[in-house]
Chain A
Amino acid sequence: MATGIKDKVAILGMGCSKFGERWDMSADDLMLEAFREGLADAGIEKNQIDAAWLSTCFDEVSVGKSAVPLSEALRLPYIPVTRVENYCASGTEAFRAAAYAVASGACDFALALGVEKLKDTGYGGLPVQGRGPLVPMWWANVTAPGSFAQLASAYRAKHGIDKETFKRAIAHVSVKSHDNGTKNPKAHLQKAITEEQAINAPMIAEPLGLFDCCGVSDGAACAILTRPEIAESLGKKDLVSVKALQLSVSNGVESQHNSWDGSHFKTTRIAAKRAYQEAGIETPREQISMFEVHDCFSVTELVTMEDLFISEEGQAVSDVLDGFYDADGGVPCQIDGGLKCFGHPIGASGLRMMYEMYLQIQGRAGARQLADPVFGMTHNLGGSPWRNVSSVSIVGRYGA
């Protein structure tokens, strides 16, 4: 039995660019903005970094293929640099690769940097993806909102929830994230909205309206990882260490076998169970202090809170409406505004979530600082409900 990643890796430093419509910035500028903050925070020299991983998703509009764009933007000293791409979990995948590299002892210092420059397409929403020659011949002509909207139909049918109640619950998910976003100067969207605004917004994909969809943003985020003993030897206090890094990837069952009911993420449930085991967490609803989940769409967040075993199955609607996930609720979720308001530059998002956990645990989260957080969970979901990658990660106080 593998011993897992718990407490083998510490976060030495992190950086995150301002997210948003960065019309004046290209991907290389965004990478440098995040890296300068991260390197200063880590307190090491650039040439001490042994290896780096770059995460980007949309090579069609962002930096193109390969890891060369990162090495060039940062003028890295000819070290190993690798590009990773795994849909919306790309940033967390870069983090996982860097964590495994330092945990193995192959590297002392590893960099994970994610970036996405999305606002060069000329239209709103995500770019249209290249999907190879076969997919366009038979897959439905889906978009991201149309894919995730499908959850609502199956969830409502399974749990007997009327359209209006469900719409109000997903509206509350977004209202909460907008409230949180007002306290985050790096967030793409920093304005509060009302439930009425969310409910009456233009329809994007039934039942998701404009405010049920996250921002499409430019941005970059990075982490510099090392082993805890190295961090301590450098004089670092209040270490944040990695407790669990899990990923589950669909194998065709959801999309081709009638055993999946369409109302939940099979992958997230599997990854969450493994993550709790790896981190030694037995009662997540009590033990996890805060969540950054993949709220690409309001409905995704709602369903995910059940798949992470925080809300009982069928109870997420009432938990959400009761304010359980609000900033002042039982377990704050998306305290930095989430994908919804901080923004969603795909390749950077997993690292952005980790950045918030890191700041919160170190007590550096400013106006949105929570009282005494111990464990934070991040979650990414890439693809569609029926065919996806789901990453579940836990970080926390070193030794906790």
Chain B
Amino acid sequence: MVSILAYGGYVPRLRLSREAIVTANSWFNPALKAHMAGERSICNWDEDPLTMAVAAARDCLTGVAKESVTACHLASTTLPFVDRQNAGVVAAAAGLPETATTMDVTGSQRAATTALAAACRDGSGRTLLIASEKREARSGAPQEALYGDGAAALLIGPGPGIARLVASAGVAVDFVDHYRAPDHRFEYGWEERWIRDEGYQKIVPRALEPALAEAGISGAEIDHFVMPCVYPAVTRSFARTYGIRPEAVSDTLQAVMGEAGAAHPLVMLTRVLEQARPGQKIVLVGFGQGADALVFEVEEGIARLEPRIGIGGHLARGRPETNYQKYLAMNGLVDQEHGKRAEIDGQTALSTLYRKRDMVTSLIGGVCRTCGTRQFPKSALCVNPNCGEYDSQDDYPFADEPARVLTWSADHLVFVPTPPAHYGMVQFDGGGRFMADFTDVAEGEVEVGMDMRMEFRIKEMDSDRGFRKYFWKAAPARQG
């Protein structure tokens, strides 16, 4: 029997007010006023699908032995690299063993549900399936208001766990509601009414009905009907057709974060699992050039799952952003003046990155076998002035270590996309420190002694070469 063993989620802290979007753009397209309500999650400048995937993976692996993970699959249509395995970066940052099979799954909004069905059918080891998405839209496009950024992760393996797969079915149909070519930044789509009537209404049943039949349940027995769709009428229509109780139709989270593309089925599923009770039936639907339908039954283990932040916890951590111009600038949607200090060359020496990959990607330092001093970075000569032993250090991972601010400043001089740049000496409680960039902090928030948590983020964008540097930053360790 294959089960979901654990879940995790991540929603970026910034929530852009839809009113700000609509107010700035309705002069051109008054129809946008239909999307005034609520807010959408947006990545900070240093977040992307890869960093969100790491955050969701770490959340999912709370209390899980990382060496037990045998595969790491990353589903997304907005991965930063087309030819460099993104899942490999995520696996290294999340501290997974190098023996874990890594794979990017992409090309469709259905990528995560198809990967989930495949992982459940495989069932030979423990697969960490992460779905992460940050879709871009032109300024003023309806998608700008409808979409949100986010990620979710599931650990799948031999059960029992927290929910077992009861049945699944899928169809592949080349229904092009929208598409995006590799050299195009934005998607190109077709008329909504056609997508609704010829797409969802006709294709989803071809997966949903056989899945329900295989599971041997009726619509009325579904406790959670999880289907991302930005057209509420579609979901209501399925509920009527299949007799699904209205209260069993899961919240699409449209009001609080927007739709996170290929990640959204797992984002919604994670939110449901956070509140599900043993015995409940969950139906998950993914749509995109066909449809997937998966039926799960919640297991007893769900009550014993170690607490984690999850989608709910991250949703509760939102910080309102009403500055639409700042959103445009952070995302390169306006040609903003950055000043001459932004003109530095950001080339990455790939040989250096490889040699220091444990340090840079995995935040691994050293602990001295002779004196016990933890230190970052690891070196062949212990930093403890009373030790000074050669070749005495074992690897020591710092990513999950509690940390505090020892010194800090907020720098208005240096170029960063969201000034001022906060940084300071971050000291780990058990030993070790380094001068770290801070992220997700507000002006006036930082003080000496503040509890921090390390987060994997974009260090610097090298847009000339299409590369991005990743490293770890300190963020306030506020509790969910």
Contact = CB atoms under 8 A, between A and B. Distances in A.
B412 A205 contact: yes
Interface stretch (A72-80, A132-140, A390-398): A132-140
B320 interface: no
Given A153-B407, A252-B383, A256-B375, A137 B414 contact: no
A151 B407 contact: yes
A371 interface: no
Contacts of A122: 340
Given A145-B413, A153-B408, A206-B410, A123 B341 contact: yes
B352 A134 contact: yes
Interface in A126-156: 128, 133-134, 136-143, 145-147, 149-154, 156
Contacts of A134: 349, 352, 356
Interface string B449-480: 10000000001100000000101000000000
B439 to A, nearest CB: 11
Nearest to B379: A252
Contacts of A141: 411, 414, 416, 421, 423, 437, 460
Contact of B384 (A151, A257, A261, A262): A257
Contacts of A154: 406-407, 425, 448
Contacts of A205: 409-413, 420
A258 B427 contact: yes
B448 A157 contact: yes
Given A123-B339, A257-B375, A137 B406 contact: no
Contacts of B243: none
Contacts of B432: 256, 258
A267 to B, nearest CB: 13
Nearest to B349: A133
A211 to B, nearest CB: 14
Contact of B411 (A143, A152, A252): A143
Contacts of A385: 407
A258 B433 contact: yes
Interface string B160-171: 000000000000
**Contact count band on A:** 35 or more
B425 A386 contact: yes
B383 A257 contact: yes
Interface in B119-167: none
Interface string A152-185: 1110110000000000000000000000000000
- Name which of B349, B377, B411 has the most chain A CB atoms within 10 A of its CB: B411
Contacts of B356: 134, 137
- Name which of B375, B406, B416 has the most chain A CB atoms within 10 A of its CB: B406
A204 interface: yes
B436 interface: yes
B237 interface: no
Contacts of B182: none
A121 interface: yes
Given A136-B469, A257-B385, A203 B412 contact: yes
Contacts of A138: 359-360, 377, 434, 459, 471
Interface string A246-259: 00000011011111
Interface in A202-217: 202-206, 208
B118 interface: no
Contacts of B447: 153
A360 B436 CA distance: 43
A125 interface: yes
B199 interface: no
B380 interface: no
A143 B411 CA distance: 8
A388 to B, nearest CB: 13
A153 B420 CA distance: 16
B375 A255 contact: no
Interface string B412-445: 1110100011011101000111111100000000
Contacts of A142: 411, 414, 423, 435
Nearest to A139: B435
Contacts of A259: 385
Nearest to B449: A157
Contacts of B359: 138
B296 interface: no
- Name which of B339, B384, B433 has the most chain A CB atoms within 10 A of its CB: B433
Contacts of B412: 202-205
Interface string B3-43: 00000000000000000000000000000000000000000
Contacts of B379: 252
B373 A257 contact: yes
B409 A153 contact: yes
A137 B469 contact: yes
Contacts of B448: 153-154, 156-157
Contacts of A152: 409
Contact of A262 (B383, B410, B411, B425): B425
A262 B434 contact: no
A151 B425 CA distance: 10
Given A150-B407, A154-B407, A262-B406, A256 B346 contact: no
B331 interface: no
Contacts of A150: 407-409, 424-425
B406 A149 contact: no
B122 to A, nearest CB: 36
A205 B408 CA distance: 10
Contacts of B376: 256
Contacts of A145: 409, 411, 413
Nearest to A142: B423
Contacts of B436: 140
A146 B352 contact: no
A253 B436 CA distance: 16
Contact of A258 (B348, B405, B431): B431
B344 interface: yes
Interface in B337-363: 339-341, 344, 346, 348-349, 352-353, 356, 359-360
B469 A253 contact: no
Given A125-B413, A141-B416, A256-B433, 20 more contacts: A133-B352, A137-B469, A138-B359, A138-B434, A140-B424, A146-B409, A146-B423, A150-B409, A154-B406, A154-B407, A203-B410, A203-B412, A205-B413, A205-B420, A206-B410, A257-B375, A257-B383, A261-B406, A385-B407, A386-B435
8 contacts: A125-B413, A143-B414, A146-B411, A153-B448, A202-B412, A256-B377, A257-B375, A384-B435
What are the 7 closest A-B residue pairs judged by CB atoms, nearest first? A146-B411, A133-B349, A149-B409, A140-B423, A150-B407, A157-B448, A262-B407
